[in-house]
A and B are shown apart, each in its own frame.
Chain A
């Protein structure tokens, strides 16, 4: 079955850009939406944004000015870049597959990666 694996630096300096990649295995990245979600220590889940395999994106308005999500179908990967990070961006970052259930069902995230911890500190 489809599995997702996040990868990237675990430590990022303030004001720099956080970069993470999610590798999709066991299935094709095509024909789906793919999302990033984060969870600060001891807090709830925050949706960051998602991308369709064709490249169209949708971002959380609160992060939109700093976020870029891209996709590489040849590598079955999608990526997250978050610029100008601060300590508030310290979190576990998850990638997930977004199912488009259509007009009646809406969107839901049915496959998740295990998550990767990113700490913002000098």
Chain B
């Protein structure tokens, strides 16, 4: 099965900072990579699908890039409401099984 890793596992940043989170797959997953944001006590929210497509209604400060095994989620200017945990998720496998990364927690410096 495909394994997903994320780095860093946590980071501290200030409002206005540019933040980059990396997700790596154990084998090539083409562009079958999605990003979710989860705030405490809330359900996850889809931000990016297919590595770089912005979900409707998501602010343009969020962007995704990458293909193959290495992917990046970038927040261009961190806002107070962006402090949350971010998960990547792949859907590449021929059996169409879904796998989440372990998450990256973004908190206030």
Contacts and interface: CB of A to CB of B under 8 A. Distances in A.
A106 B45 CA distance: 17
Contacts of A58: 95-97
B81 interface: no
Contacts of B74: none
Contacts of A45: 36, 38, 44, 87, 89, 100, 103
A45 to B, nearest CB: 4
A35 to B, nearest CB: 7
Interface in A68-119: 94, 99, 101, 104-110, 112-115
Interface residues of B, number: 30
A107 B1 contact: no
Contact of A106 (B44, B55, B92, B101): B92
A34 to B, nearest CB: 13
The prevalent SS among residues of A at the interface is strand
B19 interface: no
Interface string B40-55: 0011111001100101
A44 to B, nearest CB: 5
Interface string B61-101: 00000000000000000000000000101111001111111
A61 interface: yes
A21 to B, nearest CB: 17
Given A105-B50, A106-B50, A106-B92, A35 B44 contact: no
Q: Which 6 A-B pairs have the closest CB atoms?
A: A106-B32, A107-B91, A106-B91, A112-B43, A108-B49, A47-B98
Interface of B: 1, 30-32, 34, 36, 38, 42-46, 49-50, 53, 55, 87, 89-92, 95-103
Interface of A: 35, 37, 44-47, 50, 58, 60-61, 94, 99, 101, 104-110, 112-115
